[in-house]
């Protein structure tokens, strides 16, 4: 029984230590938010933002390439039309 009681006390101490650490972590996060402002982004947020930018950039490049092809085709058709007339 003494071993069980000792383990229970140790478990209680560890749980209290975890609770203290969590409260310290929350306090540090609040301090960081206060110092850096409300728009502070974590690593995960920055990764998501970077991925979104990459996707937008890829879409932009694809659309720009399509527009270039369409402009080239229009020029060819204009020249063909002027030759036929």
Q: What is the pTM of this model?
A: 0.48
Q: What does each C-alpha distance from 17 to 27, 28, 50 come to in angstroms? A: 15, 16, 37
Clarify whether residues 60 and 30 are in a common domain: no
Clarify whether residues 12 and 32 are in a common domain: yes
Its domain, for residue 72, covers 43-85
Q: What is the DSSP string of the chain?
A: -HHHHHHHHHHHHHHHHHHHHHHHHHHHHHHHHHHH-TT---HHHHHHHHHHHHHHHHHHHHHHHHHHHHHHHHHHHHHHHHHH-
Number of domains in the chain: 2
Stretch among 3-7, 12-16, 50-54 having the lowest mean pLDDT: 3-7
> Across the chain, what does the average pLDDT equal?
89
Q: What is the pLDDT of residues 16-53, one digit of tens each?
A: 999 999 999 999 888 887 887 766 677 788 888 899 99
Q: What is the pLDDT of residue 73?
A: 95
CB 72 within 8 A of CB 79: no
Clarify whether residues 59 and 80 are in a common domain: yes
């Amino acid at each position: 029984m003494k071993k069980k009681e000792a383990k229970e006390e140790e478990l209680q101490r560890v749980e209290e230590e975890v609770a203290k650490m969590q409260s310290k972590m929350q306090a540090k996060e609040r301090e960081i938010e206060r110092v850096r402002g409300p728009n502070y982004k974590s690593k995960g947020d920055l990764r998501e933002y970077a991925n979104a930018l990459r996707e937008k950039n890829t879409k932009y490049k694809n659309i720009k390439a399509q527009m270039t092809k369409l402009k080239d085709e229009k020029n060819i058709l204009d020249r063909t039309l002027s030759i036929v007339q």
